[in-house]
Amino acid sequence: MPRGDVVLTCETYEEAQAAVDVLAKADFPVSRIAIVGSDLKTVEVVTGKLSYGRGALAGAFTGAWLGLFIGLLLVIFSPTGTSVSFVVAAVLIGAGFGVLFGLVSYALNRRRRDFTSNIQVIATSYQIIADPDVANRARNLVAPGASWGATASAPVPPQGFTPPQPPAHPSDPPPAPPLEPPPAT
């Protein structure tokens, strides 16, 4: 487990990655940093129902890729010239074996798992941790409010905007705001 001082806590991995990118661009020794995810959760999103047809189709795709790979290897390392038809035959044979293995696999696991899904491990927060002797420099580079941390929701003043200036002398009245033309309709 990485040890050190917490430099920044982010809600998403992309935010933590952006902060480390800022440090890398500032010639910070990023080898002394770690991104640590906390409160891990497993999320499984069900993508569909399994059937013999889906099992056969998935097996065919896997077998075809394996057949293509083996066919190309044999063509590349063959001492005699082979043709494209050899590769096509290897893809078809691979797809055939893939269908067979896909059907057998589905038949054996049918009642235990009748659905397909994608599984992810997600953290609820990510901490950037740095070695104690470089942590303050890292904090200064990625401090909230620094130019890298500006979010899309932060208001951006229009180009040419100058904030109102206080009166030069306390007894002077404040300057009148400039007149703006009415918006075009």
Answer yes or no: are the C-beta atoms of 109 and 55 closer than 8 Å.
Answer: no
Question: Model pTM?
Answer: 0.49
Q: Reply yes or no on whether the pLDDT at 68 is more than 80.
A: yes
Percent of the chain whose pLDDT exceeds 70: 76
At residue 66, the pLDDT reads 94
**Beta strand segments in the chain, E:** 5-10, 33-49, 115-130
Stretch 156-171: mean pLDDT: 50
Looking at residue 182, its amino acid is: P
Residues contacting 144, CB < 8 A, separation 6+: none
Between 115 and 131, whose confidence is greater? 131
Q: Give the pLDDT band (50/70/90) at residue 178.
A: low
pLDDT digits (tens, 9 = 90+) for 75-112: 888 777 667 788 889 999 999 999 999 999 888 877 78
CA–CA distance, 99 with 104 (Å, rounded to integer): 9
CA–CA distance, 122 with 85 (Å, rounded to integer): 46
Q: Give the pLDDT band (50/70/90) at residue 63.
A: very high
